[in-house]
Structure 1
Amino acid sequence: MSRRDRNKGAKSARPGPAAPPPASPIALYEAGLQHLGSGRLLDAQMCCEQALAVDPAHADGLALMGIIALQSGQHDHAVAWFSRAIRQNPKIDYLTSLGFTLKQMGRLDDALAVFDKAIQLKPDDAELWKHMGAVLLAANRHGQALLSYQQALTLNPGHREAAFQSGLLLQQQERHEEAVQAFTVCLTQQPSDLPSLQMRARSFRHLKRYDEYLADCQRAQTLALADPLVCNNLGDALVCLRRNDEAVAWFDRALAVRPGLVDVLHNKGFALLQVLRFEEAAAVYREILALEPGNAKAAWQLAHIELQCGDYAAGWARREARWAMPDFSPDYPRCSEPKWLGQEDIAGKTLLIEEDEGYGDNIQFARYLPMVAARGAKVILVVREPLRRLMAGIEGVSQCLAFTPDLQRPAFDMHCPIMSLPLAFGTTLASIPPASYLPPPPADRVAFWEQRLGPHHRLRVGLVWSGNPHQANDGNRSMPLATLLPLLEVEADFISLQKELRTADQALLAREGRIRDVTAELTDFADTAALMSCLDVVVTVCTSAAHLAASLGRPTWIMLPYLADWRWLRDRDDSPWYPSARLFRQDAGRRFEPVVARVRAELAAKAAGFKGTTA
């Protein structure tokens, strides 16, 4: 063999270069993470599969396969991978991923169990409590969700997501002071957080902290200049501050961006009404009805404008839209018998007349009951117990029942809500029925009150200064007792007819010796009527007391807000409904102090001319 052949054989016998060692599971896992971060799911999956081929128990690789499956929409596979990873090592990250996946699948009980286990392992982890809150929220367990979010905030007071969700849940519970604090946490972290700013503004509104409500709305508007809803909220804040003309401009700005927004149109109509721009407001509500012919709220508002402007023919008919309003008169019976609105002959029929809306409304429109009976109908009347004794004696009422939720009504042929009677009789300003329809108050109670009040040497003045605090317009129609105190300078005897006392008024009335408070002895409206019959004048805001006193023919001085209720019409100091009533209206300043001053002057003149009576 030649040297060349020997050398060639030696070369061929040498081993070749060594094959690279197999990649470690850690390296493959890290490569998979890089691929995943770049959106290359298949490459990431291949790396994980190689890692698991080397080490089937590699927990991070199993968990990464779960993440890949989750991002691919394969939730069942993701659950399986995360579960395998947890069996190898119950890391918090794995449990969090499994709980999140189960939540996405709607398996909320399973998700709760997973997060509960994670919290047991690491109870001081704010993120876990936040995740637990999210699952509880999805399960509609709002109270427990709030507790979880609050625990997250205890552990991490600056946790924005937990603070925001806490704020929303606190708002649902009407805990607006706490909600403000929660949203403030978010805004401290990020002052330009628009959702938190808007939510905090909403809570300020509920708390009637209107200056702060406006400030947040103005900040929100700088962050979303062209957002019509932000402009709408800013307008609403101005309405709350009674800056209605400015508010209209913001509503117009919102509508310029997105015409036809019905909620904004409603707000614009309301603002126009507050400044007595009735024709413009009516045009807005007609625009809403053109967009949504079945919009009962718009029809209701337009009806009141028509009635306030004296267009009774249109207003009574349009006011029937109230029955399409979801929360209107929930206690009115849903009858299979037909509703009577004046078209049918009711001679020989039994007509059920049900109370409708407030006490004052029922007193005012009880004047139609004798007219129903005069058409030959038997009248069955249903009212709340405080009205029953007063109204049972009205001419033509065959039977008067006290409303209860389970009331079994006698058989009847037709029914009519009492507030629909003006429509049934085609009432116009010229055909309003007379006010002398209530029976005389019980003689024994009149005698009782005469004795109770004592010698009648000075003018007797009944006082009512506030109404039901839950009534929508109560903030405008009522006043604190302190505002009424200048009346007490008049030489007269003052008697409180104020049944519901607010906390501040209770203390003042107890200290104020010039007002006799006998309301604890008043049993119902019939008893109040007996007391009123012993008085020389009743001074009241727009409440049921005004209707009762005026229906009895007592001199009744009614103090009205700038935008008065529709029944008092426009720009009048008298009422076609009540000849004995005088109306004292606020001016554009919307303060009751000038109204009280005018009443005081008139009352002083009346007291000066009072001669007294003898028993």
Structure 2
Amino acid sequence: MGMGDTTLRAAIEDALRQARALLEKADLAGARRLYEGVLAMAPDNVEALHLLGLVYLRLGDAARAEPLIARSMKLGLRQSWNFANHAAALVGVGRHREALMAIDEALRIDPTDAAVHAGRGDALLALERFDEALAAYDRSLAHAPGHAATWSRRGAALRALSRPADALISLERALQIDPNDPTTLTERGHALRELRRLDEALQSYRLAMVVSGKTPALLFACGVVLSELGQAAQALAVLDEGLMLSPDDAQLLYASCVALDLLHDHDELLRRCDRLLAANRDHEAAWVGRGNALLGLDRHHEAAQSYGEALQRAPNHVDALRNRAAALRTLGHLQDALEDYDRALAIMGSDAALSYNRAVALQQLGRFDEALASHAATAQAYTETAQGLYTQAVALQQLGEHEAALARYSLACERNPHHGAARRSEAYCRLLLGDFDSGWKQHEHRWQATDVTLRRRHADRPLWLGIEPVAGKTVLLHAEQGYGDTLQFCRYAQLIQAKGATVIVEAPAVLANLLGSLRGVNRIVTETDPTPAFDLQCPLLSLPLAFCTTLDTIPADTPYLQADLARREGWASRMDAVARPGRLKVGLAWSGNPRHNNDENRSLPFTALAPLLALDATFVSLQPQVRQRDADALAASGVVGFGEALADFADTAALIEALDVVISVDTSVAHLAGAVGRPVWILLPRAPDWRWLLEREDSPWYPTARLWRQTRPGDWSPVIERVKQALVEQAATRGYPA
């Protein structure tokens, strides 16, 4: 051997020694440079080949690790740890069966090698042979109980076996050894999510991000949990961060669609679902999301088509069936909708929401006894979810079992404290039963629902709920829900002014002129106007709580609103021009906002009013919007309509003041007639809104109101017949024919 060879060998030995030291210190970059230098001098150096492969393996680059380790073994390295490393590299590149062969070789050499048993577990885990993987990890831990990664992967195997509680124990052991391992923290988050410990799951994912940074996978996990927690706005923000890092990630994109669906952002939901479908036309969940967007945009025919596309690809997709049924119901295809509900129930076996919606379809078909039976099936359906319990409670109210409904609402809130609809509905049910003390307090929980929170205004300003003195202060009262609610609760303004406050009311523009007549208001502003300075704010529907309202203390001095004199005189002249002399003048409103969550129960088709229209009277449409299903029948009916001449609520109020009586379903027209002090007959469904209470024909909110109630869900015919007879009697009292 020459001097040059001796020097080269010495250089190689020195480099290998330094590289081993760096590897022991986990200085992977430094070790890699030295091993690459050795291989530049001696391409067949087996130690450098193998350990450079190990470096790449620890850097997460199994594709570069595997050929290096394989070559080292061909050149003579045949120890058990060599096989173990090769097996790990083979697992990393997805060659799991070859990995098992390498592990078998290693175990023949040393059956007690903990790392080899752990590697066997990894290969079996990847092959979804979860029971065998668990056994392999247990054998590894029997020899090396302090190996955190093995405890972690054991947890993953247990979770794959649907044993999340056992998985969590294993993962906690791993974190006792290595508290900052992002993989274990992530896996712990998954186990906690499966156990429905969602807040803890979110915290675990966030801890993983502290260690590893914001990766698309972790942002996805956080976004999904935030959606499940009902925090859809935060979920969307997190998922959008992920999409900034990985714009074409279908998993992130679809999760963002789920959040957008919860936020009712239908336009953006439609755009993102179309992005998913542009990449994969067979993404059935994207077709369902697209259908949901179109349903929210009132494009019901297109929505039904999208759900149909989903069902072509996944015939048993229950959400596609139930949502297509909702679209078909709106389109009037009731029998087709019923068939979809029946198909979905055949798949599910028992489902509260499906049974409830099936009952509504039966109501609309006039099959009232079957509808009652379906409501009963809803109430009896087995369910453990908050949503299922909530739906059962709604059905129980249809059956008149309000105390049982309260129990279900309460249990739904226990199961999911973020279920805003259940919290609101429990409050409404208490109010319906006349329990105002508990009801008003519980009503404040409405802000926990995503859809309500998004509409909340002025939440950053001091809230007045009746505690602080308001003398000398400016209080802003602001609308938060529908027009009817604003008309009902604006009456409290004068009570606040009586306490010495300056009162500003913020309301939708179509109400502004009418609200100008409200006593106790210093200024009316619309929601698009610049907000004036104020000290305290209160949403209108929190005012009953602020004033500790009871049935006996409802401020019911009507009229508290009226149109101005010029409008009243103008609309009186118009009515004189179209009314038949010596006949009752009757206003009609038969449907409310189609987006209302109880619209199908509270609204009725125009044709249901036919018995009334046979009477000798002048009938006037007070409908702000006429649905397509009603247009032809209305046009042929002879009912007087003023269309766009009714520019706002002040015009409608003036017209109402020129009528003898208003007959209305539970919608803003009913509240308007009551607020201006005119006789109003309100048609109520079997399960009425809370404000109409139970089993009474009058309303403590509106002294001029008379209530007409269904006895069976959806059955309007007896109600209309009773109203018809009352109109005949009213005409006779006035000496009019009928």
TM-score w.r.t. length of structure 1: 0.69
Shift of the alpha carbon at 1:608? 2.3
Cα–Cα, structure 1 residues 452 and 251, in superposed 2: closer, same or farther, change >3 Å?
Answer: closer
The alignment partner of 1:313 has SS state of: helix
For residue 600 of structure 2, the aligned residue among 475, 494, 507 is: 475
Alignment partner, residue 650 of structure 2: 526
The alignment partner of 2:454 has SS state of: coil
Written as runs of structure 1 = structure 2, the 5 A alignment for 1:29-44 is: none
Shift of the alpha carbon at 1:334? 2.8
For residue 250 of structure 2, the aligned residue among 137, 156, 167 is: 137
Aligned counterparts of 2:251 and 2:453: Cα–Cα separation in 1: 34
Alignment partner, residue 536 of structure 2: 414
Cα pair 1:390 1:438 within 8 Å, conserved: no
Q: Does 1:443 align with 2:569?
A: no
Cα–Cα, structure 1 residues 216 and 339, in superposed 2: closer, same or farther, change >3 Å?
Answer: same
Cα–Cα, structure 1 residues 173 and 308, in superposed 2: closer, same or farther, change >3 Å?
Answer: closer
Q: Does 1:459 align with 2:584?
A: yes
Alignment partner, residue 508 of structure 1: 633
Cα pair 2:428 2:690 within 8 Å, conserved: yes
Q: Name the amino acid aligned to 2:603.
A: S
Alignment partner, residue 343 of structure 2: 216
Cα pair 2:420 2:450 within 8 Å, conserved: no
Cα–Cα, structure 1 residues 562 and 347, in superposed 2: closer, same or farther, change >3 Å?
Answer: same
Shift of the alpha carbon at 1:183? 4.4
Shift of the alpha carbon at 1:296? 3.3
Alignment partner, residue 344 of structure 1: 468
Q: Name the amino acid aligned to 2:572.
A: E
Written as runs of structure 1 = structure 2, the 5 A alignment for 1:329-408 is: 330-404=454-528, 407-408=529-530
The structure whose Rg is larger is 1
Alignment partner, residue 580 of structure 1: 704
CA-to-aligned-CA distance 1:392-435 (integer Å, 9 cap, x gap): 2212101111111xx32121111111111111111101111123
Aligned counterparts of 1:543 and 1:186: Cα–Cα separation in 2: 41
Structure 1 portions without partners, runs of 5+ = 1-43, 50-65, 74-104, 108-133, 151-161, 188-192, 223-229
Q: Does 1:317 align with 2:441?
A: yes
CA-to-aligned-CA distance 1:255-297 (integer Å, 9 cap, x gap): 4xxx5x3222222222212212100010112223344456433
Cα pair 1:245 1:275 within 8 Å, conserved: no
Aligned counterparts of 1:138 and 1:269: Cα–Cα separation in 2: 35
The alignment partner of 1:515 has SS state of: coil
Identity %: 33
Q: Name the amino acid aligned to 1:254.
A: Y
Q: Name the amino acid aligned to 1:204.
A: A
CA-to-aligned-CA distance 1:120-161 (integer Å, 9 cap, x gap): xxxxxxxxxxxxxx97735847535424544xxxxxxxxxxx
Cα–Cα, structure 1 residues 211 and 347, in superposed 2: closer, same or farther, change >3 Å?
Answer: same
Aligned counterparts of 1:562 and 1:315: Cα–Cα separation in 2: 21
Aligned counterparts of 1:264 and 1:553: Cα–Cα separation in 2: 41
Shift of the alpha carbon at 1:305? 0.7
Aligned counterparts of 2:278 and 2:309: Cα–Cα separation in 1: 13
Cα–Cα, structure 1 residues 481 and 252, in superposed 2: closer, same or farther, change >3 Å?
Answer: closer
Q: Which segment is superposed worse, 290-299 or 500-509?
A: 290-299
The alignment partner of 1:379 has SS state of: strand
Alignment partner, residue 23 of structure 1: none
Cα–Cα, structure 1 residues 367 and 145, in superposed 2: closer, same or farther, change >3 Å?
Answer: closer
Alignment partner, residue 612 of structure 2: 487
The alignment partner of 1:431 has SS state of: coil
Shift of the alpha carbon at 1:233? 5.7
Aligned counterparts of 1:497 and 1:309: Cα–Cα separation in 2: 31
CA-to-aligned-CA distance 1:561-601 (integer Å, 9 cap, x gap): 11111100001111111111111111115211221111111
Aligned counterparts of 2:668 and 2:613: Cα–Cα separation in 1: 23
Alignment partner, residue 203 of structure 1: 324
The alignment partner of 1:269 has SS state of: helix
Cα pair 1:305 1:566 within 8 Å, conserved: yes
Alignment partner, residue 718 of structure 2: 594
Cα pair 2:396 2:404 within 8 Å, conserved: yes
Cα–Cα, structure 1 residues 71 and 214, in superposed 2: closer, same or farther, change >3 Å?
Answer: same
Cα pair 1:539 1:557 within 8 Å, conserved: yes
Q: Name the amino acid aligned to 1:319.
A: H
Aligned counterparts of 2:290 and 2:481: Cα–Cα separation in 1: 32
Aligned counterparts of 1:172 and 1:593: Cα–Cα separation in 2: 33
CA-to-aligned-CA distance 1:505-553 (integer Å, 9 cap, x gap): 22222222x3111232112111211111111111111111111111222
Structure 2 portions without partners, runs of 5+ = 1-65, 72-88, 97-214, 218-246, 254-271, 295-301, 330-335, 363-370
Cα–Cα, structure 1 residues 262 and 381, in superposed 2: closer, same or farther, change >3 Å?
Answer: same
Cα–Cα, structure 1 residues 391 and 488, in superposed 2: closer, same or farther, change >3 Å?
Answer: same
Aligned counterparts of 1:172 and 1:518: Cα–Cα separation in 2: 35
Q: Name the amino acid aligned to 1:427.
A: T
Q: Does 1:537 align with 2:658?
A: no
Cα pair 1:164 1:183 within 8 Å, conserved: yes
Written as runs of structure 1 = structure 2, the 5 A alignment for 1:117-196 is: 137=250, 140=253, 142-147=273-278, 149-150=280-281, 162=282, 164=284, 167-168=287-288, 170-171=290-291, 173-174=293-294, 175-186=302-313, 196=317
**How many positions carry a matched residue from both structures?**
468
Aligned counterparts of 1:589 and 1:516: Cα–Cα separation in 2: 30
Aligned counterparts of 1:418 and 1:487: Cα–Cα separation in 2: 36
Cα–Cα, structure 1 residues 491 and 289, in superposed 2: closer, same or farther, change >3 Å?
Answer: same
Q: Name the amino acid aligned to 2:486.
A: N
CA-to-aligned-CA distance 1:223-252 (integer Å, 9 cap, x gap): xxxxxxx64565455444464655555665
Shift of the alpha carbon at 1:337? 3.1
Cα–Cα, structure 1 residues 139 and 241, in superposed 2: closer, same or farther, change >3 Å?
Answer: closer
Aligned counterparts of 1:410 and 1:211: Cα–Cα separation in 2: 52
Cα–Cα, structure 1 residues 467 and 136, in superposed 2: closer, same or farther, change >3 Å?
Answer: same
Cα pair 1:146 1:169 within 8 Å, conserved: no
Shift of the alpha carbon at 1:440? 3.7
Cα pair 2:686 2:711 within 8 Å, conserved: yes
Q: Name the amino acid aligned to 1:495.
A: V
For residue 428 of structure 1, the aligned residue among 534, 546, 550 is: 550
Cα pair 2:710 2:719 within 8 Å, conserved: yes
Cα–Cα, structure 1 residues 211 and 609, in superposed 2: closer, same or farther, change >3 Å?
Answer: same
Cα pair 1:362 1:418 within 8 Å, conserved: yes
Aligned counterparts of 1:462 and 1:579: Cα–Cα separation in 2: 18
Shift of the alpha carbon at 1:356? 2.1
Q: Does 1:308 align with 2:432?
A: yes
Alignment partner, residue 33 of structure 1: none
The alignment partner of 1:463 has SS state of: strand
Q: Which segment is superposed worse, 589-598 or 547-556?
A: 589-598
TM-score w.r.t. length of structure 2: 0.58
Alignment partner, residue 496 of structure 1: 621
